[in-house]
Amino acid sequence: MGSAAIRVENLSKTYGHGDSAVRALKRASLEVQPGEVVGLLGASGSGKTTLLQCIGAIIDPSGGRIRLDGKTVYDNGWKTTDRRALRRDHIGFIFQRPYLVPFLDALENVALLPMLQGRSDAKARRRALELLTRLGIADRATMRIEQLSGGQQQRVAIARALANRPPVILADEPTAPLDSHRALSVMSLLYEVARDFGTAIIVVTHDENIIPLFQRLYRLRDGVLREEAGEGRPIFPETRGV
Amino acid sequence: MINLAYRDIADGFGRYLATALGLGLLIGVTLTMAGVFRGMVDDGKALLRASRADIWVVQQDTLGPFAEPSSLPDEMRRGLLALPGVARAGNVAYLTMEVSDQGRSVRILLAGYEPGAGGGPEYLVAGRPILRPHYELVADERTGFALGDRIHIKRHDYTVVGLTRGLRSPAGDPVVFLPLKDAQQIQFLKDNDAIFREKRRLAGNPLFNPPSNPALLAAIEANQFANHRVNAVLVRVLPGYDAHAVAAEIERWLRLTAYTDEQMTTILIGQLIAMASRQIGLFLAILTLVSTAIIALTIYSMTQTKLKEIAVLKLIGTPNRLIAGMILQEALGLGFIGFIVGKLAVTYWAPLFPKHIVMLPCDTLSAAGVTLVICVLASLAGIRGALRVPPASAIGG
Ligand SMILES: Nc1ncnc2c1ncn2[C@@H]1O[C@H](COP(=O)(O)OP(=O)(O)O)[C@@H](O)[C@H]1O
Ligand SMILES: [Mg+2]
């Protein structure tokens, strides 16, 4: 299908050289359609983070091809000159840990992205507040990052990933620091974003409560990627919203 | 757009301010050292400037009266006045001594001059000039003397009638003016006991004290206990005369050495304070170098401690331009606050120094320039490091 939002072909990644080389990804291929939310499973060290960071233009793959929105961004070498702009405009990344900018408050951490895209301060802040409200932390908007709990920080990071309404969201265990109720509501938000904006989303998870939600799953085993059918259980209405 | 530098500074303002204060004190010390250096040179010239002499006439073949002892008879003045081109000639006598005022001991330069003939203070900041022929002082305010203070020097009490500002000897001691005759007497007289012994010795000698002629002893005493020597004669030349030519005439006819004012300045700067100023100059150079290194390192390590945050900023797509701008602004802020603090520090602590500290605007300006250059260079090094940090390093480890 030519219209896939994410299309990865034979992607390889080897860390290091010679004897100490680690083949973290072995010719992985995957495809995610716009508006689709897929799960990525695998034991620790199987290469999930590596795959996400390659797609997210954070680390360099060793070979293969990546197409985002029908545009080839990597083909045995980066085809885009400004990977930072690619990250900013096309990819929302939710890391395993929040990685917020400590000297900005919660709202500014989110608003910075639309501002970097050239939106007005007022508009960027309005959008950031909207997202924080949906994530249930609007009352923490002007707080220093270090005053927020781990779960609150992670929700700020999620809001930041959504702030530029990117066509692709890569979430690396986004619900790990959250309790099961919050985890479900974050997943419900991701589904809403996928439905409303046609965003393609990959979610890495271990969470037994979340795995049944995916219609489609990928599993990594020692760098080898396989597709599996998921249960595709709908999220119950009472878990939606916060 | 959010100003990243401002937000970062505000977030850790205490530490930032403490760093800036530290740099400020360092800049302050460097500025002070420059001020001490300038002060030495300025002190060297202060008395010359105030004396407003075109020519300094001193004992033959000496560098007097400050760099070498010089002594010449006071009647030379009359000979000088007879020379063509000489408008005014004034005898001066200088001596450095320690006097005490209300239990406090002060080292001063006593400058004896003839009011009206030159060599006196240029202007006063308080009181009046010396009007009586004896026992009056015009003191520099650095002595700590106040108007009306009575200062005991050798055998007499002197009253402080006027105050000057910024008048120091080339050695840095505050200058105290007094009538020439008093200065000559102080220079010549020993303490009372010595005089008493001398007088007794004279009186006991029948040659000097013949019973037939009591006036002889009085005449001898008058000659013995009066001093007719001075250290220099200050000459002003008539308009239209060249000081160099007049000085040459003086040397030719009176067998004295005559320096023009600018030669005298050269002697003072060159001979008297050259060693001290070279010492301080070298110290200043080293201090500047050390300050430069510390400021540069501080700014550089400030960015090094922020590499993680910078990697996060890159990760989410912040362009290099904004990151570089943040580092540069923070460095300039540090330099700016540091410089202000340094300047204020010097202004506040300069009066506490016993030596004169002169802050020339050009020194302050060049210090500001050097600080600016250091900040920019150090932040360039920091920016280089920041731009090289891979975004992935934010999430590694
Ligand atoms: N920066 C790195 N340098 C070397 N090896 C790495 C690096 N990052 C990950 N690896 C290795 O690659 C493999 C996959 O790691 P990762 O993608 O983090 O797995 P997962 O996210 O599934 O736990 C592991 O064997 C890990 O040790
Ligand atoms: Mg991982």
* Ligand 1, atom 20: closest residue by C-alpha: A45
Which residue of A19, A22, A204 sits with most ligand 1 atoms within 8 Å of its CB, as the best mutation to test the pocket? A22
Look at residue B382 and tell me whether its pLDDT is greater than 70: yes
Q: Residue A104's Cα: distance from chain center in Å?
A: 22
CB contact under 8 A, A113 and B319: no
Highest mean pLDDT among A129-133, B31-35, B38-42, B227-231: A129-133
Long-range contacts of residues A41-45, Cβ cutoff 8 Å, at least 24 apart: A41/A204, A41/A205, A41/A206, A41/A211, A41/A217, A41/A218, A41/A219, A41/A220, A42/A204, A42/A219, A42/A220, A42/A221, A43/A221
**For chain B, what's the residue count?**
397
Mean pLDDT, all residues of chain B = 89
Spell out the domains of chain A, with CATH numbers in brackets. Answer: 6-99+167-229 (3.40.50.300)
Q: How confident is the model at residue A103 (pLDDT cuts 50, 70, 90)?
A: very high
Angstrom CA distances, B197 to B193, B202, B211, B221, stand at: 6, 9, 20, 13
Using a CB-CB cut-off of 8 Å, the residues of chain A touching B323 are none
Look at residue A239 and tell me whether its pLDDT is greater than 80: no
ipTM over cut 0.85 = yes
Segment A66-81 shows an average pLDDT of: 93
> What residues contact residue B231 under an 8 Å CB cut-off, 6+ apart?
B58, B64, B65, B69, B70, B71, B72, B92, B93, B94
How many contacts (CB atoms, under 8 Å) link A and B? Answer: 64
Please report, as a single letter, which amino acid is at residue B52.
R
Over residues B12-23, the pLDDT tens digits come to 999 999 999 999
Segment B335-355 shows an average pLDDT of: 92
Highest mean pLDDT among A37-51, B25-39, B101-115: A37-51
CA B171 – CA B359 distance, rounded (Å): 19
Give the Cα-Cα-Cα angle B361, B363, B369 (nearest 5 degrees): 105
Is A30 or B43 the better-scoring residue by pLDDT?
A30
In this structure, are residues B347 and B27 in contact, taking their beta carbons and an 8 Å threshold? no
Which residue of A50, A51, A59, A219 sits with most ligand 1 atoms within 8 Å of its CB, as the best mutation to test the pocket? A50
**pLDDT at residue A241, as a whole number:** 46
Look at residue B341 and tell me whether its pLDDT is greater than 90: yes
Query: Which ligand neighbours the alpha carbon of B396 most closely?
Result: 1
pTM comes to 0.79
Q: B244 in helix, strand or coil?
A: helix
**pLDDT at residue B368, as a whole number:** 94
**pLDDT at residue A61, as a whole number:** 97
Q: How confident is the model at residue A242 (pLDDT cuts 50, 70, 90)?
A: very low
- CB burial of A49-86 (b: ≥16 within 10 Å; e: otherwise) equals bbbbbbbbbbbebbebbbbbeeeebbeeebebeebbeb
CA A235 – CA A217 distance, rounded (Å): 16
* Ligand 1, atom 21: closest residue by C-alpha: A49
Q: How confident is the model at residue A214 (pLDDT cuts 50, 70, 90)?
A: very high
**pLDDT at residue A1, as a whole number:** 47
Q: Which DSSP symbol is given to A45?
A: T
**pLDDT at residue B397, as a whole number:** 53
Residue A53 in tokens: 């960071």
Q: How far is the CA of A158 from the centre of ligand 2 (A)?
A: 17
CB contact under 8 A, B317 and A113: yes
Burial of B341 (0-12, 13-18, 19+ CB in 10 A): buried
**pLDDT at residue A143, as a whole number:** 94
Long-range contacts of residues B381-384, Cβ cutoff 8 Å, at least 24 apart: B381/B296, B381/B300, B382/B299, B382/B300, B382/B302, B382/B303, B382/B304, B382/B327, B382/B331, B383/B303, B383/B323, B383/B324, B383/B327, B383/B328
Q: Which residue has the tokens 């060599």?
A: B119
Q: How far is the CA of A42 from the centre of ligand 2 (A)?
A: 9
Q: How far is the CA of A52 from the centre of ligand 2 (A)?
A: 9
Segment B314-331 shows an average pLDDT of: 94
Over residues B194-237, the pLDDT tens digits come to 777 877 888 888 877 888 887 887 887 776 666 788 999 999 99
CA distance B329 to chain A (A): 15
* Ligand 1, atom 2: closest residue by C-alpha: A15
**pLDDT at residue B225, as a whole number:** 65
Residues whose beta carbon lies within 6 Å of some atom of ligand 1: A 15-16, 22, 24, 42, 44-50; B 396
**pLDDT at residue B218, as a whole number:** 80
Going by their DSSP bridges, the two strands A224-229 and A63-68 should be labelled as unpaired
Is B209 or A174 the better-scoring residue by pLDDT?
A174
Mean pLDDT, all residues of chain A = 92
**pLDDT at residue A234, as a whole number:** 80
Look at residue B338 and tell me whether its pLDDT is greater than 90: yes
Segment A149-166 shows an average pLDDT of: 94
Segment B148-158 shows an average pLDDT of: 90
Look at residue A240 and tell me whether its pLDDT is greater than 50: no
Look at residue B80 and tell me whether its pLDDT is greater than 80: yes
Closest residue in A to B310 (Cα) is: A101
Q: How far is the CA of A195 from the centre of ligand 1 (A)?
A: 32
CA distance A92 to chain B (A): 9
Residue A239 in tokens: 């878990």
Query: Which ligand neighbours the alpha carbon of A44 most closely?
Result: 1
Highest mean pLDDT among A43-47, A182-186, B193-197, B273-277: A43-47
Segment B294-320 shows an average pLDDT of: 92
Q: How far is the CA of B32 from the centre of ligand 1 (A)?
A: 57
**pLDDT at residue B8, as a whole number:** 94
